[in-house]
Amino acid sequence: MNNARWLRLQQLFDALVELAPEDRAAWLAQQPDEDALKQEALALVLADERDSAAVTRQFGSAVAELAPAPASGLMLGPYRLLCEIGSGGMGTVFLAERADAEFDRQVAIKLIRGIPTRDAAERLRRERQILAKLEHPHIARLLDGGTSPDGQPYLVMEYVAGEPITRWCREQRTPLAARLELFRKVCLAVQYAHQRLVIHRDLKPANVLVRRDGEPALLDFGIAKLLDPNSSGRQEATGAHWFTPTYASPEQRRGEAVNTATDVYALGLLLYEVLTEQVPAPGSDGHFHVGRPLRGDGTRLPAELGLIVGRATHQDPVRRYASPEALSEDLRRYLRGRPILAAPDSWSYRTGKFLNRHPLSVFAACLALVAIALFTVRLAAERDRALRAEKDAQRESATSRHVVDYLVRLFDAAAPENAGNTSLSPKELIDRGQHDIDTRLANEPEQRARLLAAFGRIYTELGDPDSAALVYRKAAEAEQLLGNTRQEAIYLNQLGYVLNLAERPEEAEPVLHQALAKLQALDPPEPRELIDLYATLSLAESRRGDLRTGLAHAQQTRELLRQYNISDYLLVTRSLTSLAEAHMRNNQLAEAEQAAQQAIDLLRRHLPADSAEVVSATGFMTDIYERQERHADRERLLREMLQTRLRNLAPGSAWAITARNNLAQAIYLQGRMLEALPLFRENLEHLRASGQQDSPSYSITLNNLASLSEQAEDFDSAIPLFREAYENELPKPGKPPSPRLAMFRQNYGRSLLLAGKLDQAWPLLSVEIEESMEGNTERARRLLHLAEWMRRSNQLTEAARYANQAGAAFAQFLPPGHPRHAAVARARGLILRDQGRLAEAAEQLRQALEVLRKANGPQSNTTLECQVQLAQVLASAGARTEALALLQPIQGALEQHFVKNAPLLRQQARLLAQLQSS
């Protein structure tokens, strides 16, 4: 159908609607149009009468699509259209300006979309009638109106330059209280319209703008409904679907009659969007449920606001607020801290609101009551404290007397006249007393606990931390039964300390956390015990591999010392040694050495040089020297420590075994293999004799003896030792994993690799190193081992990639001259050699040899091995003289450092024979 036919059909339709049904046929007969067009127009009128205004609207919409839109620059009376600023279901709004030179002003002009049908014109006329009745600062005003020369009616309204209220609040980041005050103004504007019998029916963010001055303006009364039954004009049926679905009330969507409750519902949805910055969405049942409002970032809004929105948007119109003013008033009550009407009326709710409104008065009254109560309690507490101090003094006196009596009896039983010719060592004497204590002091739990603790200290001094752990655990359990929380926590701390000494940090940590919880529950707190406990806990965490937490707790001890102004040298020393350990495990070696030296200097100012405390602090420094590769300095300190402690300790004590093990390690790292091996073997014999195959010391000794054998290329001896050490560290039921497991697994795999057993080595070397492992050392070592495995498997590209990764990993935490860098350069040299790139291989091996000579000495096993490998590359490259100069001087050293028939000795002999024969 062409445009002319559409327009003529519209004209016939409008005329027929105005006629009485009995006059329509006669009128149509007088029209010159074809019969088909006449019948179509009559059919539309009959359908319109049958289906209310639905056909009229659909017909008008179709015509509107065909009609030309007004152009910018069009004159309507004294106004010139500038541009379109909005378009709705029935009209289009243009920005316009006054063009008659009377005064300058921008306005908004609303025109009917398309052809001005009778229904559309009637609606526009009704909007003009409504706006004429509304004079409110927060409602856009009607300024003028008229009809264009072609019969198009229009409205001239105040132009509101602003943003939708939701966008304005979001972009201005308006505080909650300011949003509510702004929204109250909107409510009062709607209330004003209701008082003039006008329902808006289309309240939504686009129809509520906020001006530049922050004041709201209510727009678009195009589908508003007049409640006045006497108002003139054709009323639109209440079932007409002119609304925005998102903000429409249930009764609107059902096509039922609307009233002021419809606008209250829309205001509730608008309030929800203003508060949450989210468009309200219906639930699975099609209805809106507010619940506890949440912002877009997940922040919860006050529950009372959810109640207000819930009441405004209730499905039953009768249960909503009676008016927009009532909604505004409830918001005002919320802002003033008063009970809201939407909340359940309860005593607790009203009391809470009262307290919030009058905090100072209530606080003053409570303060007076508290002061009276505190005064009374303090008097009672002082009395109880005095009585308790007297009772404690009596109990301590009795306990000390019983402990002394028991020790006297114990030593008397060991006297020659009672024990005969059998002499008892200090440890055997304490063992006898420890087993006897449960029967003799069964009815005296306090004395039993104190004596057990005394035995724990003696076992610690004798270098037997495992026995000390057993008695400290019993002492803590006894204090728990007595309800003495403070003393129980102290004994648990001592238990954690000796477990650290026994290289069992995975067992120490949970015990120390238990002690910490008990100390923190005390009132008032005990800062000295807390400092000591945090120091012990830091050691356990650092040794177990939790480096960040270990360092944090060590630093916390320093803060507590400053906070409580404590200068006790023993506590300060404990703090410094825990800090030194944490820094060392984090590869912050300079900081670690500084803290350890401060601890040693402080102890030497107060104690003799051979005291157990000074020796223990010196042990921390030897660990740091090991990380710094200062093996000669470490050997010197360890020899001094052993010489001092063996005056009082048995050669097979746990402390002596650990110190001897560390001394042997320092010796062999300097290349003096023959001196180190007897020390390791002596330790292994002591441990096996005392049945300590399950102890960490035994595993460490196995590992170190295996490492020496491997360096001497005695793989037949090294591999079984490595295997036993690794299997001893495998997880056992009921025990946490060992922090040494990854290191021992790598060592076992490396030894198999060097022995040429690649298939057996791969499952061990390919396992990823756990993140909980100490630092990055083991992860970097694994990369280096994988590079060697790939080289021996002739996968040279992969070998080079792993070697580069190992180099990058070591570079992150080791200085340039560290022997680990030499190991990487040596691996690269061998890969380049196998690739036939002899000149590059020789350069890498020269770099490795230079670092090894400086770090480990010219006679160390690793230095000698690298020297032979460089000579082989030079010989292959034709530099026979240089190769011979490298081989001849070390022949004697090789025979002293490597076992007979070692692969390196055979390689050196073959190479030397080839060079001499040529």
Strand order in the sheet with 162-164: 162-164, 208-211, 216-218
d(CA 177, CA 337): 12
Instruction: Give the best-scoring range by mean pLDDT among 362-371, 430-439, 621-630, 852-861.
Output: 621-630
Q: In this predicted structure, what is the pLDDT of residue 640?
A: 93
Rounded Cα gap, residues 578 and 536, in angstroms: 7
Query: Taking 60 as the threshold, does the pLDDT of residue 351 lie above it?
Result: no
Angstrom CA distances, 58 to 51, 153, 154, 241, 248, stand at 11, 20, 21, 12, 21
Instruction: Retrieve residue 38's tokens.
Output: 């006449």
pLDDT tens digit sequence for 269-293: 999 999 998 888 777 776 788 777 8
In this prediction, residues 119-138 reach a mean pLDDT of 80
What confidence tens digit (pLDDT) does each residue in 720-777 have?
A: 999 999 998 888 887 777 778 888 999 999 999 999 999 999 999 999 886 644 547 8
Q: Give CA–CA dist 366/372, Å, rounded.
A: 10
DSSP 779-806: HHHHHHHHHHHHHHTT-HHHHHHHHHHH
Q: Which residue has the higher pLDDT, 176 or 50?
A: 176
Please list the residues that pair with 87 across neighbouring strands.
Answer: 92
Percentage of the chain beyond pLDDT 90 is: 43
The DSSP annotation for 170-218 comes to HHHT--HHHHHHHHHHHHHHHHHHHHTTEE-----GGGEEEETTS-EEE
Q: Which tens digits make up the pLDDT trace of 497-517?
A: 999 988 899 999 999 999 999
Cis peptide upstream of residue 524 (ω within 30 degrees of 0): yes
Gap between the Cα atoms of 641 and 656, Å rounded: 9
User: Which residue from 699, 635, 641 is spatially nearest to 667, judged by alpha carbons?
Assistant: 635
- The stretch 381-390 carries a mean pLDDT of 68
Write down the pLDDT at residue 116: 63
Whether 401 shows a pLDDT value over 70: the answer reads no
Quick one: pLDDT at residue 90? 64
Mean of the per-residue pLDDT values for the chain?
Answer: 84
* CA 640 to chain CA centroid, nearest Å: 47
Which of 180-184, 711-715, 826-830 shows the lowest per-residue confidence on average (mean pLDDT)? 711-715
Contact present, 633 and 639 (Cβ < 8 Å): no
Lowest mean pLDDT among 101-115, 357-371, 661-675: 357-371
| Paired sense of beta strands 208-211 and 162-164, if any | antiparallel
- pLDDT reported for residue 112: 78
Selected residue with higher pLDDT from 383 and 238: 383
Of 249-263, 389-403, 565-579, where does the model show the most confidence? 565-579
Inform me whether the pLDDT recorded for 70 exceeds 90: no
Check whether 400 has a pLDDT greater than 90: no
Q: Is 110 labelled a binding residue?
A: yes
Model confidence band, residue 358 (pLDDT cutoffs 50, 70, 90)? low
Lowest-confidence segment of 40-49, 200-209, 759-768 by average pLDDT: 40-49
- Mean pLDDT, rounded, for 690-695: 80
What confidence score (pLDDT) does residue 44 get?
A: 76
Give the pLDDT band (50/70/90) at residue 584: very high
- For residue 191, what pLDDT is reported? 94
Tokens of 156: 């001239």
Whether the pLDDT of residue 59 is over 90: the answer is no
Question: What local confidence, expressed as pLDDT, does residue 773 receive?
Answer: 43
Structure confidence at residue 873 (pLDDT): 96
pLDDT band at 224 (very low <50, low <70, confident <90, very high): low
Label residue 52 by pLDDT band (50, 70, 90): very low
pTM: 0.45
Q: Are 222 and 199 in contact (CB under 8 A)?
A: no
- pLDDT value at position 788? 97
| 479 has pLDDT over 70 | yes
Q: Which band of pLDDT confidence, cut at 50, 70 and 90, is reported for residue 900?
A: confident
Q: Which of 370-384, 559-573, 612-626, 677-691 is predicted least confidently?
A: 370-384
Decide: residue 565, CB within 10 A, 0-12 exposed, 13-18 middle, 19+ buried. Answer: exposed
Residue 236 binned pLDDT confidence (cut-offs 50, 70, 90)? very low
Question: Whose CA is closest to 456, among 465, 447, 445?
Answer: 465
> 720-724: long-range contacts at Cβ-Cβ below 8 A with a sequence spacing of 24 or more?
722/747, 722/748, 722/751, 723/748
Residue range 411-449, pLDDT digits in tens: 555 555 555 555 556 666 677 666 777 777 777 788 888
pLDDT in tens, 525-560: 789 999 999 999 999 999 998 999 999 999 999 999
